[in-house]
Structure 1
C-alpha cells in the first residue's frame, strides 16, 4: 500500500505483509549508525530501515544519502524517519508501539568512546590508563532509558546494543532489562586474529575458525600493544572441520596485530564495528544461525562466540569450556577494564586503580554507582571531562 506524498513516518505495522523483511530501527545516527545503515541497505534481507533521533531533518537527509547511494548500486530498500528523545520514556514507548520495529539497533551514547582520542597524544595515553570501565555512565544511561521504554511499549522488539555492551548488558540484566545482544569489541579483533593465525599456520583465512571469549579490555589492548596485557581470555583456533585445536603461538599471534596487521583506529575503525553489527543484524533478520562473536548475549558479561538467530545469540563456546568458566573469565577481564564487580541489584563497583586515574586527572571519583544514580554520574562526568578537555587543548 502506497502512502500519500509527504506522509510522515513509516507505514503502520498493520499494512506489512508476513512476507515482508524485518523492520530495523536505528536509534542514534552518529558515524557508526550511518555506516551500519549503508551496509543494511545493500542487502535485501535488511533493507527496511527506520531512523530515530531528535534532529529528524538531519537524519532524514542522512537516510536519503544512504538510500540514493544504494539505488546507484541497484539496491532498492526503504528508509523512514521518526522523532525520538530517549529522555522522554513515555513518548519513546508510544513511538515504538506505533512503528513496531522487529529489531532496534542502539547506537546512541552520551559520549562516544573516541572523544578522548582527540586529546593531545600524551594526555590521551595517560587518561587511557583508566581503561573504559569508569566511563560506563555515559553508555548505560541512554540504554537504561531505552529498555524501560521498550518494556512500557509492550512491543516484542529485540534490541542490539553498540554502547559498551560488555558492561551495559550485565548491569541491565540484573533488573530484567538487558538488550538481547551487543556488537563490536570481541568481534572487532576476530578478523585480525583469524588472518594472523592463518599466516602462522600457512593456511587460507577462510579455512581457519576461531572461538574467542574475552571482554572489551582484551580487544582494546591487543591491537595497541601486541600482547594481552592483564586481560584474561580463552582462544580456540581450528582448521574448519578439524577435531582438535591447532597449535598456535599466542604471543606470536598477538604481536602481528601491532605490526603487519596493524589497522586504522579512531573514527576510521568504526567501519569494523559496523561490519560486526551488520553480521549480527543480518543473522537475526534471516534467523540464520551464523557463527559470530558478540558481547553480552542475553546480558552476560564480556564477549563470546555465538550462533545468531532471530532472538539474538546463543553462546557457542570452545570445546571443554563451560558457560560458568567463560563468565568467570570475562569477569576477571572486566576487572582489568576498571569494573570490579556488578551486584545483583545492578550496583557497580569500580576498580580502585583505574578510578584513581579519573580522580587524579578529572577530579571525578565514583567508587560505587547504583543504577538509579547513573544519569547523575553521567552529568558529573561530562562536566568534569569538558573542563579537563578545555584546559588541555
Structure 2
C-alpha cells in the first residue's frame, strides 16, 4: 500500500496547477483521504495550501493541505515519508527568454532547450538522493524536463517512477480533440519537443486509437499548440493530479507519460497498484519506441545514452565557445560539477544583452 500522502515541491505555475487540481478532484476508491504537503521556500507554500484547502472545501474533494519550508531535504523526507513526491521546481525557468532576455537566453535559443539539462536536473537529483536515503518507499515523479532528466536520474541509479507534462499534456489534448471519455484506447508516443509542431512532418507525434494509428495528429493538436505555453501548465497540472491520485489509490489508469522507468521521451503506460508499465501498440517494440524518442528528441539538443550526456551538432556548436570541454559531452557522474560550471556561465551571460540567433544544423526547439 502507498501512503495517500503527496508531497509537491515548488510554488510556481506547475506546482500551483497540480495542487489546485488535487483540491478539485475526488480520489478514486479505495484510497484513504488524500494529504498534500506543499514544500517551498517563503510564504508561497502556505498561500498555496490555504487556497487549496478552501477549494477542497468548496468542491468536497476530500484532500487536506499543509505547507512546509524545509531547510534540509533529507530531514524533511525522513519525517514526512510521503507516498509520492512530485518535483515541480527547477533551477531554470523555461520562460526566461521572454521575461528577462539576455546572452544566456540567446545561448539556449541557439543550442536548444536541452542545454539547460543540468539546471533542470539539479533539484530533482538532490530530492531523489534524499528519497533513496531517508524515504525509500516514496515514489518519485519529476516535472522538470523528464524526457531527458529521467534517463539521467536512471543512469545515476537515482529513483524515479515517471514524469508529468509534455506527452501527458499532448495525450490530454488529443483525448479532448477526439471527444474521448478516457485514454483507455489512446496510446501516444511524444517528446518535449512536440509541444510545438515539428519542423519535419515525419517527426510528428505518433498516436493510436483502438489500435489504429491516427492520420492527422498535427491537425488534432493545432488548437492546443496555439495556446500560450503558460496556459498548457494548467492542462499538465490537471493531468498530473489525475496520475498522482491513481498512484496513491493503487487503481488502474491508462495514459501517456514522459520518462517512465527512466526512459527517454514519452510513452503510453498503464498505472496500476502504484507502479507504471509500458502499454505500447502491438506493432511497436520497446526498442523501437526508445529509438524513435531519441531521434526526435535530438531537436532539443541533448540526449543521455550509456551513462553519458551528449549534444547535437547544433548544441555543440553553440556551447563550444563557452564550455568546450563540456560541449563534447560528459559522464552523468559529473552532474554536480557541470551544474556549477553552467550556473557560473549563466551568471556571466545574464549580464550581457541578448543577441540574434544564427541557427546551425536542422531542427526546432
Specify every segment of 5 or more residues in structure 1 that has no aligned partner in the other structure, as ranges. Answer: 1-17, 86-90, 199-203, 239-243
The number of residue pairs the alignment matches comes to 346
1:276 corresponding residue in structure 2: 239
Preserved contact between residue 47 and residue 77 of structure 1 (Cα < 8 Å): yes
**1:232, 1:329 within 8 Å by CA — same for their partners in 2?**
no
CA contact (8 A) 2:253 2:271 kept: yes
Q: 1:166 to 1:249 in 2, by over 3 A?
A: same
Alignment partners' CA distance in 2, 1:155 and 1:172: 15
In the other structure, the counterpart of 1:5 is none
TM-score, normalised by the number of residues in structure 1: 0.78
Post-superposition CA distance 1:40-87 (Å, at most 9, x none): 1223427411122332x33113211221233233445322223324xx
Please name the residue that 1:245 is paired with: 212
4+ residue runs over 4 A deviation: 123-127, 227-230
1:254 is aligned to: 218
| CA shift digits 1:278-335 (9 cap, x unpaired) | 1211221222221111011111111100111243321100121111211121122222
Q: Which has the larger Rg?
A: 1
Are 2:336 and 1:375 aligned? yes
Q: 1:41 to 1:261 in 2, by over 3 A?
A: closer
Name the structure, 1 or 2, with higher relative contact order (CA <8 Å, separation 6+). 2
Alignment of 1:129-278 (within 5 A): 129-196=110-177, 198=178, 204-206=179-181, 209-217=185-193, 219-222=194-197, 228=200, 231=203, 234-238=206-210, 245=212, 248-250=214-216, 253-255=217-219, 257-258=221-222, 260-278=223-241
**CA offsets 1:239-268 (integer angstroms, 9 cap, x no match):** xxxxx516x433xx404534x454422322
Question: Could you say which residue in structure 2 is the equivalent of 1:25?
Answer: 7
| Preserved CA contact (<8 Å) 2:23 2:55 | no
Distance 2:260 2:82 in 1: 20
- Give yes or no for contact 1:134–1:355 (8 Å, CA) kept in 2: no
Change (3 A) 1:205 1:126: farther
Q: Structure 1 residues 136, 285: CA separation in 2 closer, same or farther (over 3 Å shift)?
A: same
1:274 Cα deviation after fit? 0.5
Encode CA deviations 1:79-118: one digit per residue, 9 max, x unaligned.
2223324xxxxx4222212111111111121112222243
1:334 match: 297
For residues 191 and 74 of structure 1, the distance between their equivalents in structure 2, rounded to whole angstroms, comes to: 24
- The answer for unaligned runs of 5 or more in structure 2 is 28-32, 355-365
Determine the C-alpha separation between the residues in 1 that align with 2:107 and 2:215.
Answer: 31
